[in-house]
Amino acid sequence: MYLKRRFVLLYGSQKGQAQSIAEGVAEEAGDHGLVAELSCLDNSEKYNLEKETAPVVFIVSTTGDGEPPDNALGFVKRIKRKTLASDHYKHLCYALLALGDTNYANFCNCGKTIEQRLQELGAKQFYPTGYADDGVGLEVVVDPWLDGLWEAIKEALSKMTSDSTGYLNVDAGASPKETADSSPPDIQLNLLSITDCQNCELSEQSRKTLSTSSASATQTAASSLTHSLPPLSELALNVPLLPPPYLDVSLQEAETTEQVSIRIVGPFKKENLHEVPISKAVQMTRGDSVKTALLLELDISACPMMTYQPGDSFDVFCSNRATEVEDMLHRLGLYDKRNHMVHICLLKDTKKRGAQVPSYIPQNISLLYLLTWCLEIRSVPKKAFLRALLEHTADGVQRRRLQELCSKQGAADYNLYVRDPSLSVLELLTAFPSCSPPLSILIEHVPKLQPRPYSAASSCRRHPGKLHFVFNLVELPACSVRPVWRRGLCTGGLFDLINPVLVFPGKTESSSKAALPKIHVSWRPSCSFRPPADLSVPFIMVGPGTGVAPFIGFLQQRYGKQEHPEATFGETWLFFGCRHRDRDYLFREELEGFVSSGTLNHLKLCFSRDGHEEDADGATDSVTRCRYVQHNLLCNSQSITDILLKQNGRLYVCGDAKNMAKDVNDALVEMMKTALGRDQLEAMKTLAALREDKRYLQDIWG
């Protein structure tokens, strides 16, 4: 009798990407004569690595400053215990797919941490680790990695004996010991050697390939989101498997019309979610500035639980825009049923493994509430979603185009027309009018509406009962797939809310008598991005643009140095940059005040679009080369490396992850090379050690 062979499939996922890849693997396993035992890493009762004899596949993403996703935190903590023996996982045979983004410094850090620990504990790799880069498209690595996975699992299984409850004794001759001691099969993936370093090169390579294909697609006028050209339009396509439907969704007329306001959803406990008034809203940039930065002051005096430290961040809960929700309701043909209650349960005969009703959708909510507060209808449709939409698209031409966009062959078009312009679900449905998906498909594929984190830009010491934060109004320009520009969901929503009470530069008060609006916020778990507790420790802050926000909190907290003449204070440095001194120099007066009071010893400024730059800490040497913060860092190389290498000081970087954080890191590598007189690798190792030591810290977003 033929029995399917099992393997264990574990995922750690913050935004659902790793989970959805893992679910795809679980679905496909059957076609390869395998059974995947799928589980989330935090469901530790569902798997037991200590006794596992089958191959284990990990698919994990990385979040924040290289942290594990929330649902992998416990696992990482467990395997990091120092008490574990070096042969703890000697019996284990694993493969790992790490998801990350090379725009962030700690690329795939969670995957690397797990891998390193598994190896330290004696586990053996049976298939090379894949490091997929969201910066260029995960699929560049994920697709070939998955293609090669099946053979690798089968090969690993054939070397292993089944456990006592195993489905099949494939090779009764081989003992677990032999398996553990045997070297991993030498697997070559098509064109891809998936080692970490090479992968970065690959990312560059694929970036080039993609941009070349992007360029050629742009040149050909007739190619668009909805139309393709040869050769793609003539190719046979490899389309992903249809994700099995798993939700049974019905609408029932409600007895009362529910008010559409936020409820406590998902993992947020009541005590964590606060509705707080905005007590002040100030535009920080001049009207002619390229970006608009706004400062909001929240009155948190009624929430004594909300105490915060400089460096903390918090979540702002925003809803989808009412007009987009309305458009979506019309598009689904459900506008008349918007106040009906949504009932969701699992399809009785679903083939989806580990199917669950999404935990972030509360019971007894209206359809209007669901689309307003639960689903990120602005999210970029994933390929699995496009695949599912195919089944509900009547027009043949549109069906073919959806097939292309979710196919391997259409990867460049997917990036060009869907991913890069951040095409939303609603924009996609508008472009494909013959597609009429049922509500269940939307709930299955559209991710949870996420709150947006912001860094505190104040200290409780200076502003008791108040919390400040600063943000740039995100604006997505009009493009071929989006005829009308749009604002970011949260920043645009906040702007609409505060517009009537906004205070403009040069004015102290709003003339408006409009009532102060309220927003929902919740605290994020405390981080290590904190000023040194020991005042004598010197530190360097790098925060261009809105990245300066947490450092205002740091400096406010430290203010009052002159009141403690007996204490020793380490030097403080701040590197700030923006386009123009007169248009978008945020917190100018406050920063100059910190310099005058001696709270900030060195304020290094650069204005990328002004003719020249200068220091604001008394130094008169105008440094014309310094366009961006990294240039200014290089100009102060000696002082910085002294602080880091000789004075046990710290360096904090905050702001844009896409370019700045990487450029700053590159500058630091250069500085370390010179200071140490060593090569690139040694310099990188020194920086890695500083990170490990929590002396090089980042709070970056992109």
Task: Give the three-state DSSP class for 341.
Answer: strand
Return the number of the residue (303 or 476) whose C-beta is nearest ligand FAD. Answer: 476
- Binds ligand FAD by CB under 6 A, chosen from 474, 502, 669, 684: 474
d(CA 663, CA 354): 42
Whole-Å CA distances, 439 to 210, 243, 297, 384, 659: 34, 16, 39, 16, 39
Return the number of the residue (448 or 452) whose C-beta is nearest ligand FAD. Answer: 452
Is 455 among the residues that bind ligand FAD (CB under 6 A)? Answer: yes
- Binding-site size, ligand FAD (CB under 6 A): 24
Binding mask 640-679 for ligand FAD (x = CB under 6 A): ----------------------------------------
- Binds ligand FAD by CB under 6 A, chosen from 157, 371, 470, 644: 470
CB closest to ligand FAD, residue no: 488
Piece of 77-85, 102-110, 473-481, 536-544 that binds ligand FAD (CB under 6 A)? 473-481
Return the number of the residue (244 or 453) whose C-beta is nearest ligand FAD. Answer: 453
Task: Give the three-state DSSP class for 170.
Answer: coil
Q: How far is the CB of 440 from ligand FAD (least distance, A)?
A: 25
Q: How far is the CB of 523 from ligand FAD (least distance, A)?
A: 12
Cβ atoms within 10 Å, residue 493: 20
How many CA atoms lie less than 13 Å away from 198 in the CB half-sphere? 9
Piece of 40-48, 175-183, 295-303, 449-457 that binds ligand FAD (CB under 6 A)? 449-457
Closest CA to 40 of 265, 354, 352: 354
Residues 326-365 interacting with ligand FAD (rule: CB under 6 A): none
- Binds ligand FAD by CB under 6 A, chosen from 47, 89, 131, 469: 469
Q: Which two tokens stand for residue 164?
A: 């006592």
Is 490 among the residues that bind ligand FAD (CB under 6 A)? Answer: yes
**ω before 231 within 30° of 0 (cis)?**
yes
Q: Which residue shows structure tokens 């940059």? A: 577
Return the number of the residue (3 or 478) whose C-beta is nearest ligand FAD. Answer: 478
Is 483 among the residues that bind ligand FAD (CB under 6 A)? Answer: no
Is 585 among the residues that bind ligand FAD (CB under 6 A)? Answer: no
Piece of 36-44, 163-171, 486-494, 504-512 that binds ligand FAD (CB under 6 A)? 486-494
d(CA 576, CA 624): 15
Is 489 among the residues that bind ligand FAD (CB under 6 A)? Answer: yes
Burial (0-12, 13-18, 19+ Cβ within 10 Å), 611? exposed
Structural element, H or E, at residue 250: strand 247-252
Piece of 6-14, 346-354, 487-495, 580-588 that binds ligand FAD (CB under 6 A)? 487-495
What is the DSSP code string of 71-96?
GGHHHHHHHT-TTS-TTTTTT-EEEE
Piece of 2-10, 37-45, 189-197, 482-490 that binds ligand FAD (CB under 6 A)? 482-490
Angle at 678 between CA 675 and CA 683, to 5 degrees: 75
Residues 508-547 interacting with ligand FAD (rule: CB under 6 A): 546
Is 128 among the residues that bind ligand FAD (CB under 6 A)? Answer: no
Is 452 among the residues that bind ligand FAD (CB under 6 A)? Answer: yes
Give Cβ neighbours of residue 120 (< 8 Å, ≥ 6 apart): 86
Whole-Å CA distances, 673 to 61, 634, 676: 31, 12, 5
d(CA 408, CA 235): 11
In the complex, the residues that contact ligand FAD under the rule CB under 6 A are: 313, 378, 421-422, 452-455, 469-472, 474, 476-477, 488-492, 546, 549, 699, 701
